Copies of this chain bind each other. A is one copy, B any other.
Amino acid sequence: MINKPQKEKYISLAHGNGGRYMRELIERLFAHYLANPLLNTQNDSVLLTLDQREIAFTTDGFTVNPLEFPGGTIGSLAIHGTVNDLAVAGATPKYLSLNAFIEEGMSFEQLERIVKSMAEAASEAGVSIVTGDTKVVPRGEGAGVFFATSGIGILDKDHSLSMEKIKAGDQILVSGTLGDHGTAVMLAREQFGLKGDLKSDAASVFPLTQAILKIEGLRFMRDPTRGGLASVCHEISRATQKEVHLFQENIPIHEQVDSVCEILGYDPLYLACEGRVVAIVSAEQSEEVLKLWQSIASGANACIIGEIREGGIREAQANVVLETELGGERYLEELEDDPLPRIC
């Protein structure tokens, strides 16, 4: 038996059983920090009247290790990740659901910091957590806390985006430096004996997507998370049956990300970002999108990094070509083994 004082410091199985301890955990922590007019922890569901019937719906799971890292926590990440999936679909993120899988023995203090950072992220992104659920798993059957968030966003009816709209000649833009999140999390693990002051780029991309949504030549947006830019390019090439051609010298990469990747043998083009947008835009309007992004703080380092080209699919595979700084060309292969589990 765990005695009372400990129960106030650490999560126990009783905090997940549907009884008094669970109620108190939810009231004191989740309901307290995430409070909003729609969140009623006495109900298992929430009744919503949406602004319209056209919505985007998405979900994401979060397992990042460590739970806290420079530039964010698993809590803020759980907000940004789902907000960003809605934003790149051309929607205005509105309502989120939250699941927490907490490991027995986790400290309240850390969980409180994480829920607090989650509340801040939600407030910044203009979204409300309106329904939730908490489970506690026995020690050794989890890892601190995992979150899952689902989100509902209101769609801009005048503008639909899809990979099907992509044409040869379209330009590829990225809103900022690549691989900051993956590298910052790696450094925070300390298992590599490296140090640095690099911060994760984790943030809402809604200001970036909102700024360019009215541009007619905007075809498609995606946030390069797991698998990084290279994986987004593979998806595009596979779906469009076209070549994705990247110019290495134009791709913005933080100096520190480059050095860490060189030391550890990673390629920053495969590392996760959590606050960047890749946009495919008509050649005519690509400069306009670039200027709009560069006028926003989070888009200051935006660049045009490549273009869509006609071109036979190589042996039924995706066709992603990197034109190197020295003028050579190499295929960027699809990611296979995972060098970095629990990065998001």
Contact = CB atoms under 8 A, between A and B. Distances in A.
Interface of A: 1, 12-14, 16-23, 42-63, 85-86, 88-89, 91, 95, 97-101, 104, 130-138, 140-143, 146, 148, 150-153, 155, 160, 163, 222-223, 225-228, 231, 235, 239, 270, 272, 334-338, 340-342
B61 A56 contact: no
A326 B249 CA distance: 85
B138 A57 contact: no
Contacts of A101: 61, 63, 101, 146, 148
Given A20-B336, A86-B45, A335-B20, A137 B143 contact: yes
11 contacts: A18-B335, A44-B88, A45-B58, A45-B91, A48-B56, A49-B54, A50-B55, A59-B133, A61-B99, A133-B148, A142-B142
A136 to B, nearest CB: 7
A239 B42 CA distance: 8
Contact of A148 (B16, B18, B49, B99): B99
Residue in A13, A57, A152 with the greatest tally of chain B CB atoms within 10 Å: A57
A111 to B, nearest CB: 15
A341 B231 CA distance: 39
Contacts of A136: 338, 341
A98 B59 contact: yes
A342 B138 contact: yes
B49 A97 contact: no
Contact of A50 (B19, B53, B95): B53
Given A14-B336, A142-B142, A227 B19 contact: yes
Contacts of A270: 19
A150 B50 CA distance: 17
Contacts of A231: 18-19
A6 to B, nearest CB: 13
A14 B337 contact: yes
Nearest to A239: B42
Nearest to A153: B45
Nearest to A102: B61
B44 A222 contact: yes
A149 B91 CA distance: 21
A302 to B, nearest CB: 21
A253 B215 CA distance: 63
Nearest to A91: B45
B57 A49 contact: no
B85 A58 contact: no
A86 to B, nearest CB: 6
Question: Ordered nearest first, which 8 A-B pairs have the shortest CB separation?
Answer: A19-B335, A18-B227, A18-B226, A45-B58, A17-B338, A150-B150, A59-B97, A148-B148
A242 B59 CA distance: 39
B54 A52 contact: no
Contacts of A52: 53
Residue in A88, A104, A335, A341 with the greatest tally of chain B CB atoms within 10 Å: A341
Given A44-B222, A101-B101, A137-B143, 8 more contacts: A19-B227, A45-B56, A47-B55, A50-B55, A61-B99, A61-B101, A101-B148, A152-B152
